[in-house]
């Protein structure tokens, strides 16, 4: 299963200053990581694209089974992006996709961010 999403970084120029939005969509760790440096809007947009791509890969979108704030983009020890699931989203994934692994690729450039999620 594959999910892909693309985000306009300029949306996150404004949204990255909206604390209520950030807390609804991102984890504290994501906010801490993305909120530093001049690339904050690109980082937020890429992580949002990854969350959307994951919801498309599992075929549910956001809602009852998958919560945006429970899909977290982390860095592995080698620096690669990865998805870590929490709460009811983790429970749903374990039940519906037992044995599947989540592979993530993200990229951003000036005004666009893209993410691809593959479930294997």
Number of domains in the chain: 1
**What does the alpha-carbon distance between residue 38 and residue 59 come to, in Å, rounded to a whole number?**
34
Does residue 102 contact residue 117 with C-beta atoms inside 8 Å?
Answer: yes
pLDDT tens series, the chain, 120 aa: 999 999 999 998 888 888 899 999 999 999 999 987 778 999 999 999 999 999 999 999 898 899 999 999 999 999 999 999 999 999 999 999 998 999 999 999 999 999 999 999
First and final C-alpha spacing in the chain: 7
**Per-residue pLDDT at 118:** 98
Residue 103 has, within 13 A of its CA and on its CB side, a CA count of: 6
55: CB partners within 8 A, 6+ apart: 3, 61, 62, 66, 68, 71
Range of the domain at 29: 2-119
Q: What per-residue confidence (pLDDT) applies to 16? A: 81
Question: How confident is the model at residue 86, as a pLDDT?
Answer: 97
Query: Residue 13's pLDDT is what?
Result: 85
Q: What pLDDT sits at residue 15?
A: 84
Main-chain dihedrals φ then ψ at residue 73, nearest 5 degrees: -95, 125
Distance CA 116, CA 52 (A): 9
- The phi-psi region of residue 53 (left if phi > 0; otherwise alpha if psi is between -120 and 50; otherwise beta) is alpha
The predicted pLDDT at position 76 comes to 94
What pTM did the predictor assign?
A: 0.93
CATH number for position 104? 3.90.470.20
């Amino acid at each position: 299963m594959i999910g892909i999403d693309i985000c306009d970084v300029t949306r996150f120029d404004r949204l990255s200053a909206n604390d209520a939005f950030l807390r609804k969509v991102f984890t504290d760790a994501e906010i801490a990581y993305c909120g530093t440096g001049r690339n904050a809007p690109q980082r937020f947009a890429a992580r949002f694209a990854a969350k959307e791509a994951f919801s498309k890969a599992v075929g549910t979108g956001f809602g009852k089974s998958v919560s945006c704030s429970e899909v977290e983009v982390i860095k592995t020890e080698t620096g690669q992006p990865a998805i870590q699931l929490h709460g009811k989203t983790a429970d749903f994934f374990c039940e519906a996709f037992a044995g599947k692994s989540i592979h993530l690729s993200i990229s951003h450039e000036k005004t666009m961010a893209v993410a691809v999620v593959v479930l294997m």
